[in-house]
Amino acid sequence: MMVIESGRLYQWGGGELGQLGQGTVVNLDTPQLVKRLSQRVVSQVSLGRSHTVALTSTLRNELASKAFPDR
């Protein structure tokens, strides 16, 4: 996976079990936009053997307002 400067998230690789989350079961040889997050700004991404987490600016702002309610 890769986040570009604009905050768009791209992914590629093995997808034969649907693990890329694109709604397909095919491998992607070239980076493809993650369509489900195309209207959001992704600031960070974390990958593991069986998980992917994408932090968007919307979620970051919501978490910050809950952690610091007076701001």
* 66 DSSP assignment: H
pLDDT at 49 over 70: yes
pLDDT at 56 over 90: no
pLDDT at 22 over 60: yes
2-3 sheet: strands from edge to edge: 2-3, 9-13, 28-33
- Residue 20 to residues 30, 45, 49, 64, 66, Cα–Cα distance (Å): 13, 14, 12, 29, 31
Per-residue pLDDT tens digits for 34-45: 988 889 999 999
